[in-house]
Structure 1
């Protein structure tokens, strides 16, 4: 088995995981949380990060 066929077989998995991380970043920003932090966390935890984001309440914005 060569390296190209190994990469090609795993490419959809990487694309899906990366797309989920982008969706989680947008979801986090919608809840007034750090999109970058949740993007990075999602790269590591994937669907578990999505579950946490769904369950966590929206952070109240601070009035200055």
Structure 2
């Protein structure tokens, strides 16, 4: 049987997107938005999330 050569790469990229979604939610940011952005930007999105400050809780 022939293995898909791109499968580990896609699995790693998808895992990174899930990690970024969790990191974003921890900073009071949109998990879904950052997940989708991470699918496009990958490690660059991780860098942005690490550098961005946490969003303060809204009163309303």
After TM superposition, where is structure 1 displaced by more than 3 Å over at least 4 residues in a row? Answer: none
Q: Distance in 1 between matches of 2:48 and 2:40?
A: 13
The structure where helix makes up a greater share of residues is 1
Name the larger-Rg structure. Answer: 1
C-alpha RMSD of the superposition: 1.4
Residues paired across the two proteins, number: 60
The offset of 1:63, in angstroms, is: 1.3
The offset of 1:21, in angstroms, is: 0.1
TM-score by length of structure 2 reads: 0.93
